[in-house]
Amino acid sequence: MKVLITGGGGFLGSHLADALLAEGHEVFALDTAKDLKVQHNLPNPRFQFLKASIFDNDILERLVNKCDVVYHLAAVVGVEHYVEDPLAVLKVNVEGTINVLKVALKYEKKVVFSSTSEVYGRNPKVPWKEEDDRVLGATRVDRWCYSTSKAVGEHYCFAYQKLGLRPVIVRFFNIYGPRLDAIDVGRVITIFMGQLLRNKPLTVIGDGRQTRCFTYVTDAIRATVRAGTDDAAVGQVFNIGNDREVPILELARTFCRIAGKDPDKNIVFVKQEDVYGPRYEDVPRRVPDVAKMRAVLKCDASTSPEEGLRKTYEWFLAEYRKSGIGTG
């Protein structure tokens, strides 16, 4: 099978390419970023990286036409982007997705659309099932532009399905692992990672009782591959994640233990507005119902937080040391 991954040079895209290549497929990765996360695959004759945009129609059409499945992962993500550049989030995540879906419909290709747990907003009823309501804050709060952009993408998937498209929607819940974003920015795990490697205290926002369900990347990718290869998944939405809740304070303490640091001496509490400003709104709990992932995709998130975080920390530590900076 020939597969196109938009956003194929990123964290999830690089791991998805690894898994698809391991199964013997041919992979084309399209991304505007550099090929740093996929360099290990460049010598593989079944892998091709193209530095281009999903708005480059000639390249996109050529790739979609020759492939059997499109995994559409290209997007603007990260809290810093929601707050600082909401226009870019909306443009890429909405207009870019429309572009990919139109081309996929034209050439009658299956599309796996990468969505997010953010679509549920702040719905207090957890765990969240795929058909549960979306509960969002005011449009003036920039924090909700990413959630909205991904929900619009889902609506377009279903709208194009009525015209003949074969879409599958996967909603990721806090995926982490080696090759995650650069340290110090983006997700809580990479922020904690940067602070650990620089021998700084871990900054926990608020009281740290807010929870997330963290999913190790190989578990998430296993389900994502199945979403694109199993015909039973077409037309459906899947939560992709781990249903074990982890308070952020517990996450910080676990990281300290893995790094051999005393949690009581290496964690500080900070106010949310001091980090993200007044136009950000946090969600206290984010928990997926993953029964559908288990039943249809036959996948489960089996990696424990302790095991996954240790693997992630060891990878980042090795990369940090290779940079010549060292720790401390």
Domains and CATH numbers, the chain: 2-177+215-243+286-303 (3.40.50.720)
pLDDT average, residue stretch 96-113? 98
DSSP-derived pairing of the beta strands 246-247 and 202-205: unpaired
Tally the residues of the chain. 328
Share of residues in the chain with pLDDT > 90 (%): 84
pLDDT average, residue stretch 260-267? 95
pLDDT at res. 187: 83
pLDDT at res. 273: 66
The answer to whether 146 is a known catalytic residue is: yes
For residue 190, what are the contacts with CB-CB under 8 A and spacing of at least 6?
180, 181, 182, 183, 184
pLDDT at res. 142: 85
Nearest to 207 by CA among 262, 315, 132, 282: 282
pLDDT average, residue stretch 244-262? 96
pLDDT at res. 284: 83
User: Residue 30: pLDDT above 50?
Assistant: yes
Share of residues in the chain with pLDDT > 70 (%): 92
User: Residue 51: pLDDT above 90?
Assistant: yes
Q: How far apart are CA 30 and CA 182, in angstroms?
A: 20
Half-sphere exposure of 97 (CA within 13 A, CB side): 28
Q: Using one digit for the tens of pLDDT, what is the confidence trace for 309-328? A: 999 999 999 999 987 655 44
**Are 192 and 309 spatial neighbours (Cβ–Cβ below 8 Å)?**
no
How crowded is residue 47: how many other Cβ atoms within 10 Å of its Cβ?
20
Mean pLDDT score across all residues of the chain: 93
Contacts 24+ apart (CB under 8 A), 259-265: 259/196, 259/313, 261/196
pLDDT average, residue stretch 184-213? 90
pLDDT average, residue stretch 134-138? 94
Q: Is 236 exposed, middle or buried (0-12, 13-18, 19+ CB in 10 A)?
A: middle
pLDDT average, residue stretch 259-267? 95
pLDDT at res. 272: 66
pLDDT at res. 177: 97
pLDDT at res. 278: 56
Least-confidence region, from 11-15, 42-46, 106-110, 195-199: 195-199
pLDDT at res. 84: 73
Q: Which residue has the tokens 């597969």?
A: 3
Backbone angles phi, psi at 166, to 5 degrees: -115, 90
User: Residue 292: pLDDT above 50?
Assistant: yes
Nearest to 142 by CA among 282, 279, 284: 279
Q: Which residue has the tokens 């489960």?
A: 300
Band of residue 274 on the pLDDT scale cut at 50, 70, 90: low
pLDDT average, residue stretch 64-80? 91
pLDDT at res. 277: 57
Least-confidence region, from 252-256, 283-287, 290-294: 283-287
Least-confidence region, from 37-46, 147-156, 217-226, 319-328: 319-328
- Active-site residue, from 71, 82, 120, 146: 146
pLDDT average, residue stretch 111-134? 96
How crowded is residue 260: how many other Cβ atoms within 10 Å of its Cβ?
7
Q: Which residue has the tokens 């608020």?
A: 206
